[in-house]
Structure 1
Amino acid sequence: MAENTKSTETTTTFTDDLESIRCVLRSDDHLQIQQSGDYEQVRIKLDHDIQISFLFDSLQIVSQSLTIDNVLELRISKGSSKCPLNQEQWADIRKYFDELVRKADKTTSLRSIIQLIQDQLLRTKITNPRFKPKEKKSTDDSASVDNASVSNKFRGGDLIFNRLLHDKTVDRAQVVIGYEDRFTGIHEIAFNEFKKVHDHEYGVPMHRLRYFKINGRTVWDRTKKLDILTGSEQEDRISNGVDQEMPLIQGLYRFDPLLEQWVQQPHISLISDDTRTPSTNDTCLPQQCQFLTWNILFDYHHSSLIYTKERYQSILQTLKSLQPDLICLQEVTRTFLNLLLNEMWLQENNYYIIIKQSIINSEQNKSYGQLILMKNFRPRSFTICPLDISKNNDNTTEITNTNATKEIIIARFGLSTKVTIDIVNLHLHSNRSRNANDKRCQTLENLFKQFNTKNYMLIGDFNFGDYDVKEQNMLEKYSNDIHDLWKDTYDIEQNPGFTYDPSRNICARITSDTQINRRFDRYLIHTLYNLYYSIQHLNMIGIDTIPIDPMNNDDDKRINQSDHYGLQLLINFQTRTISHRSALVVLPTTEHWPLIEEYREKYDPSFNRWPPHINILWPFFDLNGCEDDEENILVPLRMLLSHCESFNAEVNQIDTFIENNISFMKLNEKSQDNVKNLYEQIKNLFPQCCTNKRNSYNPHMTIAQFENEEQRNQAQSTLTLNKPFEFPVQYLYILQRSLDDDTTSFQITYQLPLGSVLQPLHSQQLNSFHPKLQQFFQMMSLYENEQSYNRKQDKLNKLASCFDQIFNKDSLHCFTHEFLSYGSFRIGINGQDLDTVFVLNEIKSNDEKTNFDETLLEMKNKPNGMSNHIVNLLEMQINGCLKDEIFYSRKIEALFPIILIVFNDMTKVEISVQVPTNKEQHGDEKRSENASNYDKYINGVHDIEHLLVHVRSPPIFQHLLTFIRNWAQHVGIYGQAFGYLGGYSWAVLCAYICRSFLSSIKSLSTIEQFSIDDFFSLVEKFFSTYANFNWTSEVVRLHSTSYKQTTHSEQKSMHNRGTMRILSPISPYNNTGRTTTNSTRDLIIQEFQRVVDLLNRVNTITTKDKANALKLILELNNDFPNQTIQSLLQLTLSCENVNDLDEWIGWLKSRLAHFMNGMENECHLIIQTQNSIEYQSNNTEALYSIGFQLNEELISEKRNFTYFLNKLLDQFNQYPNRKETMKISYKLIGIHDWKLARMQPKPQRTRK
């Protein structure tokens, strides 16, 4: 910045600087140059007859700048005896001038000193009685007008032109001049094209100049006596808006372009508004709505310090640039209102405005108030009423407490014809009010209670921050229903959102008594089941300071637009309907469809629209695939179903509802109980979908509908069931159709599994895929064998039983626990280990605390106390119950402590221990209106559940993920610890393909008969999509856009960490590929492309061709080290036994990421990492290698390489559990030596 400034100064000549000084002066004649001996003398006349003079040598400095160092005898003096300053004022001016000269250096611009002196003179009030202007009585009825002081003299167009011509701070390309032609009226011309009358035959006389604009903003206007450039004030009658003031009363206004004035509009109050009446289009908010709330700061205090005139103009410019759909302003006065009403952008863009009486009367009462402005729509009703701070139970919306002094505006709008939302613009009591905390709390509680059956938003200045305990406790009390949008969007620890910030805001520093930063301004929203929203943008505006003088950007002469920052919100509203086009159902397996359809085809008119089914909820939510569907409908539903085990349903007879002539297949009693139990739980989750309040739920499968009893009797003899049949209920299905007409069939939108784990692929005999696809998976050994799965299930059951012995309802009243699986076992695919999580949750209980409760509650207050205590208890319990079955176990320190167990049959189980407290909630997870006991975040578990709602059909997803994981492991690009993608990243990639490319699921047979051709198409899409994906700039996300914005620090950790950005579908949307580097990313992309090239080479026409192509993909080998590798770093780890070796290897894996980043970012090396550990046959030694594209000599010469290698080795020395027998060594060898060593007869190696 300094270099740029210096460069600009050298291009300014002495003559240019003299001319630029003229723009500071009242007239060009006030700068005179005359000969004085060998020098020229400059005399500059300033306001109040003050003169600055100096000498200069024109021959020596004609090409130099006008600086202190280039002039002689710089003086200040009175021009004559007519100087109006008294002795004290004159002494102050001289002292100020001397101080400026003393502080100046040789490069200081003389123009800046003259400008500062002139500004000081303009601020000097003349008190010398000799020069007090005489008053003249006017013959008019108006009040007498004082003679304008010199400081308020309006400058002419020629002076403004000269200032713009010579002022280097103004971009003259952005200046437009308005001038009057005698015959054709007002014209505009660019400043650089303007010619004076004596410069060109068609030049314009200066007296015809009417206005100047800079960047579209009028800065000088002769007619309006507006002069922002030189600081001369508008005439008082203009700045105060007196001549533009119109008679107003409280109400709704709109500008009438025909009448050219604001006209009051008719309206009704909230209490008179029947919400059953549909909303008209002109009373509905736009679906994507831009809000702005801003406390603009009245000027009854600190008026001389906060420069309200300049602030108001700047605020109006900001509003003009944004033109929000709905604006809520606080602390508005009549002065600002008058300026606002005269804004052309407001008049021309069809804005409506609700004005309070306190604003209209503000000049008489020193009051202020709120405004609501609406662009292109009006409220269907509104009410202005006092803030209710009384303690009463009145739940009416119309508040009638006349003792309150503050008021709120409540305006109601439509979001659709049937759904409304109330917008409340409020300004709660400040701390200067007596008992402000209590008043704010009582106001909020009254509002929450009065609006509890409505969609509404509370917008404005709440006058408390996130550390005001009483108010925050009040918000916490209603947190299930009231959402603070800033907290929904940001982590306030990283982005606190201080809209009142004395540490940065100049106005806030002036108005604050405490100098404490607070988040005063907020958007709070309460939504019902019929409305959902997504936040597209939420940020603060008005953060930057503005110059008090637009022509002077001096940091000492700047101010903020208000003591509050504005809060801009871009939000998408969508109304959710419950529709007969959507249903939640049970489907029998397709093997029974021929029997069922035989009846339906004859007797059921809905045969072509509906598949055979049992309704759970119909009508159901009309889902459209947006993120809110997932958060508020699908995830809560899946979490509920994860606690409902699958069961078999048996149909044993055909029965009839005589009252409506409907025949149906009836479940046996046990099956009915199972379905009814499922229904009751789902009904509690979605009560709004239960429209039939009269009849109890009776699960049935309709097969015939008759118009009358006679038809029913005629068919009765054919409606018999020869023998019962049974089918598994492993999934619920959401069916939808796009149209209401009878020709449109229901299709499967989502397939949601029951139970905590998905059915493993090997056991899906009844819900089987196409036989040829199953044969292919069996031939390629992709299914997990039943013995392996049963071993894991056995360990899970035994550990659960073991933990139930000490954590149960008798031992604990204040806590509950869960023991759940996650990872590959929960998804139902083959994995090496069994990943589990033990969760302890604190609950509110009215029962007496047990001794165990007391112990845990005491531990909770100690850092990691409860967590360590639980881990110790679990270890003791495991060793006590399962000691004879365990080969070894150990504890691993991590974010959540882990207990690792290896059983005698080599089944490995990891138990992650999560012990959240009341304060440790998953802060970024947005709670929905359908929040339940199942939505508390559990690391690993919820990640899987959010994934499953995206895949549409879990069995298809299971097959795709199994295939892709097996391929990735074969080719050496699997493993997060080695810089590649871990299991969850591959799962997200597969879910994205299923969501994006899975063909329409027309019926259950589409899933159950999913063929090799269908599967090949999905696999082909997987590789072509990711081979061509722009990994450097794009992000893989399962939802199209996230309502959650990220702060700068979140972006750094979430997006920039890792070169492949594959976002988790659960807030805060962390990057699951965070360990990838440029080198490993390129290797992964190469493998994607390798498959694409393979598929381009081979035939893929017939089913047999496609099966062969799939086989070739799985037969691709690990290319480590590839042809580009010239040297390798080989690490050798050794221990006394296999247990210690596994622990030692675990430490290596945890250290590799930092080492690989150092190699790439600091040493600038391209690397290839091995994705497995080579165990020697004795299982006490293991090898791991990293390849480089430089030979060993060049690598050794890199100082950074040695530094990072030593740092890696030091990490092993610092391992807290290291034993003397745990050793590590390394060698850097060339590729030929490495391969030669592999060819020598050595003990057999195994890869893990």
Structure 2
Amino acid sequence: MSKKWSTSKYSRRNTRKPFPFGGTNQQRMKTVGTSAVSYDDPTLNQPLEEYLASFGVFETEQETQHRRSVLGVLNKLVKTWIREESLKQNMAPAVAKTVGGKVLCFGSYRLGVHNKGADIDALCVAPQHIRRRSFFVELRKLLESHPLVKDVRAIEAAYVPLIKLDVDGIEIDLLFSRLPLAKIPDSLDLDSNVMLQDMDPKCVRSLNGCRVTDAILRLVPNVDNFRLALRAVKLWAKRRGIYSNALGYLGGVSWAMLVARTCQLYPNALPATLVHKFFLVFSQWKWPQPVLLKRPDSVNLGFPVWDPRVNVSDREHAMPVITPAYPHQNSTFNVSASTRSVMVEEFKIGLAATERILKGECGWQRLFEKQVFFNKYQNFVVLLASSATQEDQLKWSGLVESRIRHLVASLENNDAVALARVNPECYKTAPANATSQPPANCCAMWFIGLQLETSRSLDLSHDIQTFTENINSVGGRTNMLREGMAIQVRHVHRRELKEYLPDSLLCREHTSPDTKHEPHRSPAPPAAPTRLPSPPAAAAPRPAPPTATKRPAEGGDYTDAPLWSAPFFIFYVASMYQNKLRKI
């Protein structure tokens, strides 16, 4: 090993062994690239890190200390609230001081991959005598009274209830979980499944974020290498317009699990190589075969888990990525046939770019080129959500954005539409042809690019009408509708975009040289061991888009990587492909 490797933060040192799951050696998770890895040049990591720094993805030490002080303020407020609530319940003062309570972080901050100015996902952990109602009433009052805290909003009706707040310039999403413990020790361990017994589902869902994040960090072989590779993949996904769980792409935890799986497959690879292998693996993945970081836990505490043997709806998931902590869930259930096609095509483009980068033919800027969207399609669906006030618009636009994936699904089922690609960017400028001109900060627009089937007439009236009726119906049922709230959905051609967007934005788009990827000729990794045949990819509602170049299978097949137990996998395949059961 060269001196440069041994002194670098991103190195092969302190790399844990592959990941045994118990049982025989044949049952343990497979890895590839445990010997020399192609293109594993340590000199490529510094240019990658420098390029990421140019996008402001790394905090300064001063900014990091500020985050820690903000979390310290929040932790003190939580402890004060729990102590006061304990005294209200006639607990002795000496005991009330010792019941504890704390704030734990999860998400990108806990993983160590947060950007400058990013918000913090946090969890308030309380002992069993503290009630959820007190969290949303009493703690909220205490937060609002603190001089460093502002913009406190309680969202009790959410699937995972939370309080949003701003502490000294840092936005925080604070969840609540009441543990079945009389005291919360400072050395609290959330990994044990036994702790989940007798907990209510809302508390379990709130706790799941911390448990999943901690499991990911435990399951990667080298945390530093994982972090730099994940920073690169997250920036790439944002630049390419495929970073949004709500809109049917992948969110932060899903990208983290895909990168973690790559790290498991290539435990000795350095960050630059991991980025390349990420695209190699997932451009060839046999979706909808699931991605797992570990064997599912064989426990049953009564909580719903992702299991296609039992849940018929789980068999319909297009791109399952399963969380490594019980209760195991599919973090990508919003993905549709269209968004999966878009992401797989982007994986192939990224693979072509990283091939050239690792060969020294171009720099990292090739990988991170911004997506071409408005120049790529001739037809678009424009969604315009507007309100009379900024406060109303915050709620209204949130509702509309959360339902856009349903419109995409409806468009996929339209015989004239081959693919519907939603742009995650939300534009705030009011269009020139709006029927009533709302203030700029009270208008939000989203665009969906359409790739059409040839020789078919396009009629979107039913899809648009159904979507707008659904939005208004949900707004009415939740008592959200206010005077001035409106949703407009229009089908427009590219030449009409100038009525919605400034010319400066439309003129900036140029066809990317990576839009058409080159043939992949990377060396084949070691052949995978003999295994059950992989199921065919899930049938999409219509043929793949013409731009999705079909690539020959090359190298190893990585789809055996998420090791299911043999009976589990056979049952899964049989349930989806009964006509192929004899071949298995």
Q: TM-score of the superposition, structure 1-length normalised?
A: 0.32
Give, in angstroms, the shift of residue 626 of structure 1.
2.4
Amino acid corresponding to residue 363 of structure 2 in structure 1: A
Q: Which residue number corresponds to residue 367 of structure 2?
A: 1113
Alpha-carbon distance in 2 for matches of 1:1226, 1:1132: 9
Does the residue aligned with 1:795 lie in a helix, a strand or coil?
Answer: helix
Alpha-carbon distance in 2 for matches of 1:785, 1:892: 35
Alpha-carbon distance in 2 for matches of 1:1187, 1:1209: 24
Deviations 1:725-777 (A, max 9, x none): xxxxxxxxxxxxxxxxxxxxxxxxxxxxxxxxxxxxxxxxxxxx976664444
Give, in angstroms, the shift of residue 1051 of structure 1.
3.7
Give, in angstroms, the shift of residue 938 of structure 1.
1.9
Q: Which residue number corresponds to residue 1179 of structure 1?
A: 441
Give, in angstroms, the shift of residue 974 of structure 1.
0.3
Residues 925 and 1067 of structure 1 are in contact (CA less than 8 Å); yes or no, is this contact kept in structure 2? no
Q: Which residue number corresponds to residue 394 of structure 2?
A: 1142
Q: Which residue number corresponds to residue 1091 of structure 1?
A: 350
Alpha-carbon distance in 2 for matches of 1:1208, 1:877: 35
Alpha-carbon distance in 2 for matches of 1:914, 1:880: 23
Residues 1057 and 1071 of structure 1 are in contact (CA less than 8 Å); yes or no, is this contact kept in structure 2? no
Does the residue aligned with 2:229 lie in a helix, a strand or coil?
Answer: helix
Q: What does 1:432-471 correspond to in 2, within 5 Å?
A: none
Q: Which residue number corresponds to residue 335 of structure 2?
A: 1076
1:898 correspondence with 2:184: no
User: Where has structure 1 moved over 6 Å in runs of 4 or more?
Assistant: 589-592
Q: Which residue number corresponds to residue 224 of structure 2?
A: 955
Alpha-carbon distance in 2 for matches of 1:804, 1:890: 19
Deviations 1:271-305 (A, max 9, x none): xxxxxxxxxxxxxxxxxxxxxxxxxxxxxxxxxxx
Does the residue aligned with 1:938 lie in a helix, a strand or coil?
Answer: helix
Q: What does 1:334-345 correspond to in 2, within 5 Å?
A: none
Residues 951 and 994 of structure 1 are in contact (CA less than 8 Å); yes or no, is this contact kept in structure 2? yes
Alpha-carbon distance in 2 for matches of 1:773, 1:1227: 41
Give, in angstroms, the shift of residue 1172 of structure 1.
2.0
Q: Which residue number corresponds to residue 913 of structure 1?
A: 176
Residues 384 and 488 of structure 2 are in contact (CA less than 8 Å); yes or no, is this contact kept in structure 1? yes
Residues 165 and 171 of structure 2 are in contact (CA less than 8 Å); yes or no, is this contact kept in structure 1? yes
1:1062 correspondence with 2:326: no
Over 3 Å counting, the alpha-carbon distance change for 1:838 and 1:904 in structure 2 is: closer
Does the residue aligned with 1:1174 lie in a helix, a strand or coil?
Answer: coil
Deviations 1:1064-1091 (A, max 9, x none): 1112321111110000000001111112
Residue 358 (structure 2) aligned to one of 1100, 1104, 1122: 1100
Alpha-carbon distance in 2 for matches of 1:797, 1:897: 22
Deviations 1:804-845 (A, max 9, x none): 112139746596523111111111122421111112232xxx
Q: What does 1:191-202 correspond to in 2, within 5 Å?
A: none
Q: Which residue number corresponds to residue 487 of structure 2?
A: 1224
Residue 1189 (structure 1) aligned to one of 443, 451, 464: 451
Over 3 Å counting, the alpha-carbon distance change for 1:1206 and 1:1015 in structure 2 is: same
Q: Which residue number corresponds to residue 558 of structure 2?
A: none
Does the residue aligned with 1:802 lie in a helix, a strand or coil?
Answer: helix
Does the residue aligned with 2:59 lie in a helix, a strand or coil?
Answer: coil
Alpha-carbon distance in 2 for matches of 1:1029, 1:1134: 43
Does the residue aligned with 2:237 lie in a helix, a strand or coil?
Answer: helix
Does the residue aligned with 1:976 lie in a helix, a strand or coil?
Answer: coil
Residues 338 and 420 of structure 2 are in contact (CA less than 8 Å); yes or no, is this contact kept in structure 1? yes
Q: Which residue number corresponds to residue 828 of structure 1?
A: 112
Alpha-carbon distance in 1 for matches of 2:192, 2:378: 45
Q: Which residue number corresponds to residue 210 of structure 2?
A: 941
Q: Which residue number corresponds to residue 875 of structure 1?
A: 140
Q: Which residue number corresponds to residue 240 of structure 1?
A: none
Give, in angstroms, the shift of residue 1118 of structure 1.
2.0
Residues 318 and 336 of structure 2 are in contact (CA less than 8 Å); yes or no, is this contact kept in structure 1? yes
> Which blocks of at least 5 consecutive residues in structure 1 are unaligned?
1-588, 593-610, 613-621, 630-768, 843-852, 857-865, 919-923, 929-935, 1001-1013, 1243-1248
Alpha-carbon distance in 1 for matches of 2:171, 2:193: 35
Alpha-carbon distance in 2 for matches of 1:1090, 1:591: 33
Alpha-carbon distance in 2 for matches of 1:902, 1:1140: 19
Give, in angstroms, the shift of residue 976 of structure 1.
0.3
1:1152 correspondence with 2:546: no
Q: Which residue number corresponds to residue 1199 of structure 1?
A: 462
Amino acid corresponding to residue 1038 of structure 1 in structure 2: L
Residues 291 and 322 of structure 2 are in contact (CA less than 8 Å); yes or no, is this contact kept in structure 1? yes
Over 3 Å counting, the alpha-carbon distance change for 1:871 and 1:782 in structure 2 is: same
Give, in angstroms, the shift of residue 1035 of structure 1.
1.6
Alpha-carbon distance in 2 for matches of 1:1046, 1:1092: 30
Question: What count of residue pairs does the alignment treat as equivalent?
Answer: 436
Over 3 Å counting, the alpha-carbon distance change for 1:1056 and 1:801 in structure 2 is: same
Alpha-carbon distance in 1 for matches of 2:349, 2:163: 40
Residues 420 and 449 of structure 2 are in contact (CA less than 8 Å); yes or no, is this contact kept in structure 1? yes
Over 3 Å counting, the alpha-carbon distance change for 1:1050 and 1:867 in structure 2 is: farther
Q: TM-score of the superposition, structure 2-length normalised?
A: 0.65
Alpha-carbon distance in 2 for matches of 1:1221, 1:786: 45
Alpha-carbon distance in 2 for matches of 1:1043, 1:1164: 45
Residue 975 (structure 1) aligned to one of 208, 233, 244: 244
Over 3 Å counting, the alpha-carbon distance change for 1:980 and 1:795 in structure 2 is: same
Alpha-carbon distance in 1 for matches of 2:416, 2:76: 53
Q: Which residue number corresponds to residue 625 of structure 1?
A: 19
Residue 1020 (structure 1) aligned to one of 276, 280, 298: 276
Residues 388 and 442 of structure 2 are in contact (CA less than 8 Å); yes or no, is this contact kept in structure 1? yes
Alpha-carbon distance in 1 for matches of 2:411, 2:399: 19
Give, in angstroms, the shift of residue 1170 of structure 1.
1.5
Does the residue aligned with 2:246 lie in a helix, a strand or coil?
Answer: helix
Deviations 1:886-930 (A, max 9, x none): 14534352133211114563x321111223568xxxxx97559xx
Q: What does 1:572-721 correspond to in 2, within 5 Å?
A: 625-627=19-21
Deviations 1:680-739 (A, max 9, x none): xxxxxxxxxxxxxxxxxxxxxxxxxxxxxxxxxxxxxxxxxxxxxxxxxxxxxxxxxxxx
Amino acid corresponding to residue 833 of structure 1 in structure 2: D
Over 3 Å counting, the alpha-carbon distance change for 1:1226 and 1:1046 in structure 2 is: closer
Q: What does 1:252-267 correspond to in 2, within 5 Å?
A: none
Alpha-carbon distance in 1 for matches of 2:51, 2:308: 48
Give, in angstroms, the shift of residue 961 of structure 1.
0.6
Alpha-carbon distance in 2 for matches of 1:1074, 1:953: 29
Amino acid corresponding to residue 1180 of structure 1 in structure 2: C
- CA RMSD, 1 decimal: 4.0
Over 3 Å counting, the alpha-carbon distance change for 1:925 and 1:1231 in structure 2 is: farther
Give, in angstroms, the shift of residue 1156 of structure 1.
2.9
Give, in angstroms, the shift of residue 1039 of structure 1.
2.2
Over 3 Å counting, the alpha-carbon distance change for 1:1227 and 1:916 in structure 2 is: farther
> Which blocks of at least 5 consecutive residues in structure 2 are unaligned?
24-43, 182-190, 196-203, 300-304, 430-438, 506-584
1:1029 correspondence with 2:285: yes
Deviations 1:14-69 (A, max 9, x none): xxxxxxxxxxxxxxxxxxxxxxxxxxxxxxxxxxxxxxxxxxxxxxxxxxxxxxxx
Deviations 1:1111-1160 (A, max 9, x none): 3212x2122246345232322323412x4433322222332333333333
Alpha-carbon distance in 1 for matches of 2:428, 2:68: 28
Q: Which residue number corresponds to residue 1129 of structure 1?
A: 382
Amino acid corresponding to residue 1231 of structure 1 in structure 2: R
Residues 136 and 154 of structure 2 are in contact (CA less than 8 Å); yes or no, is this contact kept in structure 1? no
Does the residue aligned with 1:877 lie in a helix, a strand or coil?
Answer: helix
Residue 124 (structure 2) aligned to one of 815, 838, 842: 838
